[in-house]
Structure 1
Amino acid sequence: MEYIVRTHDLCKAFNGDSAVSNVNLNIRKGEIYGLLGPNGAGKSTIMKLILNLLKPTQGVIEIFNQTLTDTSYELFKRMHAIIEYPIFYEKLTAKENLDFHCEYMGYHNKKDIKTALELVNLKNIDNKAVKNFSLGMKQRLGIARAVITKPELLILDEPVNGLDPVGIIEIRDLLEKLNKEYGITILISSHILAEIEQIADTIGVMNNGYLVDEVSMEFIRENNAEYIEIETSHARQAAYILDSKLKINNFKVLDAKKIRIYETDRPQNEIYKTLVSNDIPIQSINTKTASLEDHFLSLIGGGENV
């Protein structure tokens, strides 16, 4: 198995405060790797470390089977990244921005500018200054700039942040195309679990600076567990009835209005009747299948065990 990026006990501290702790990341060639975690979990810090924008306090980073050093200039010709929002020369057009980018990258095949703009579906904008672009258009132009030099590795930090639903779908479709048709390995960070669930091959879950799990989406799908989800305005009282009256032990109170029961052999109508007969109002009761969100929340301490 060939890896594009590997980190070994990677650590980064700022003024004595740890931002990343002992992270062992493994990104395979040709996959989309989704880095998930709440704000402040360390996702952006890891990306900046891989890009040599930050220096690790401890640990080793391997890219294309080479250890990253202060003089690893050749490695960065094989990769590109967008950290936070892409920045452009606002008064120039998209084509002029890409032309300028090719100049300072030493990339001389200018015919690829048109191809890159078509790839990200930026058309009929020849005379339009970038300052007049929407956020979604700027994100797509950023990706065009990132892929014009044909990188083997693309690193994107929250690329759908702030986009409307249509913009999110467009970016998702574009990333899938870059990965499947162009063979680009993609590392993408996000807090939008539903989007990552649809495109990622592997998930890395960050929490408080630690990589708490690294798992394939295939494994998550194959090991999906069914559960019964109850919505009620009296979750605490319902939990007492489940335990004392129905003798159900394997359940979790997620919040003040939601309970999940993992003993799915118990008929829903029996649960419903018992709760209602004990004056517990039920808004809904349904059988569902565990998702990436459930896996994620279980790792970062979401919900409340009973």
Structure 2
Amino acid sequence: MRIEATKLGKRFHREWIFRGLNHTFHPGTATAVLGPNGSGKSTLLNTLSGQILPTEGSLVYSFQGQPVAVEDVPRRLAYCAPYLELIEELTLSELLHFHTRFKPLRPGITPAQLIERMYLEKSRHKLVRDFSSGMKQRLKLGLALYADSPLLLLDEPTTNLDRAGVAWYQEHVQATVAGRLVIVSSNVPEEYAFCQHQISVTDFGAQAAR
């Protein structure tokens, strides 16, 4: 997946969140979007994902040299963020069965194998609402990292994870990023240490937009 942003800006009411972003995100690369809390990192990721429209500028998507319409981006996207909800009325096994009908896993990975990789074998028949916050975050990460999607967006991926959970994330993100376009929104170095590129929201964010 390739994303080309030209003079990209997003405003809510009269306040610019970011403005003037010119950047091309190339397939097979990982980019960290950096900035303090409240600087607009999540808004930028939501804009790049096509979930919200930019106020100005343009986004051009392509995959293997062919253009991708913005309405088709979700099919090629895996997204993990603390504010994204899980279907908590389902058990883990039921959730994976439902989720993978719409977002298949990477070739060679079955739902049962994913449960093992997330270290959730003992919770396969447990309702997701009864998971701890750390278990829910590991589940969100597992669904995103092991989705068969060329675009991977991670927003503050180690939220609610303890030290063992952070180590799990670092191991599995390294194992699943090859060949994908990966964008990580973060201000925690251990979340984006694997990224080859960095851009700072403060360079084109609210302060720069004034």
Does TM, normalized by the shorter one, top 0.5?
Answer: yes
Q: What does the per-residue CA deviation read over 1:203-230, in whole Å, with 9 as the maximum and x for residues that have no partner?
A: 1111175399xxxxxxxxxxxxxxxxxx
1:202 aligns with 2:197: yes
In structure 2, the gaps of 5 or more residues are none
Question: In the superposition, relative to structure 1, how do residues 107 and 174 fare at CA in structure 2: closer, same or farther (>3 Å)?
Answer: closer
DSSP-derived class of the 1:38 partner:
coil
TM-score (norm 1): 0.59
**Which of residues 189, 193, 203 in structure 1 aligns to 2:189?**
193
Partner Cα distance (2:199, 2:165) in 1:
24
In structure 1, the gaps of 5 or more residues are 213-306
Question: In the superposition, relative to structure 1, how do residues 96 and 125 fare at CA in structure 2: closer, same or farther (>3 Å)?
Answer: same
1:292 alignment counterpart:
none
Partner Cα distance (1:96, 1:87) in 2:
16
> What is the aligned-residue identity percentage?
26
Partner Cα distance (2:20, 2:79) in 1:
23
> Offset at 1:123?
2.3
1:85 aligns with 2:83: yes
Partner Cα distance (1:126, 1:52) in 2:
33
Q: Which has the larger radius of gyration?
A: 1
Question: In the superposition, relative to structure 1, how do residues 141 and 45 fare at CA in structure 2: closer, same or farther (>3 Å)?
Answer: same
1:184 aligns with 2:172: no
Alignment of 1:49-128 (within 5 A): 49-64=47-62, 72-103=70-101, 105=102, 112-128=110-126
2:33 alignment counterpart:
35
* Preserved CA contact (<8 Å) 1:116 1:147: no
> Offset at 1:190?
0.8
1:290 alignment counterpart:
none
Return the structure number with greater relative CO, CA threshold 8 A, min gap 6: 2
TM-score (norm 2): 0.83
> Offset at 1:202?
0.9
* Preserved CA contact (<8 Å) 1:4 1:64: yes
Partner Cα distance (1:193, 1:135) in 2:
22
* CA RMSD, 1 decimal: 2.8
* Preserved CA contact (<8 Å) 2:157 2:191: no
Partner Cα distance (1:194, 1:145) in 2:
20
Q: What does the per-residue CA deviation read over 1:141-194, in whole Å, with 9 as the maximum and x for residues that have no partner?
A: 1123224540011101111123222222211211111114xx333211111134
Question: In the superposition, relative to structure 1, how do residues 179 and 209 fare at CA in structure 2: closer, same or farther (>3 Å)?
Answer: same
* Preserved CA contact (<8 Å) 1:205 1:211: no
Partner Cα distance (1:68, 1:50) in 2:
13
DSSP-derived class of the 1:89 partner:
coil
Partner Cα distance (1:62, 1:211) in 2:
23
Partner Cα distance (1:150, 1:194) in 2:
24
Alignment of 1:17-32 (within 5 A): 17-32=15-30
Question: In the superposition, relative to structure 1, how do residues 138 and 24 fare at CA in structure 2: closer, same or farther (>3 Å)?
Answer: same
1:154 alignment counterpart:
152
Runs of 4+ in 1 over 6 A off after TM superposition: none
Partner Cα distance (2:147, 2:169) in 1:
19
* Preserved CA contact (<8 Å) 2:137 2:160: no
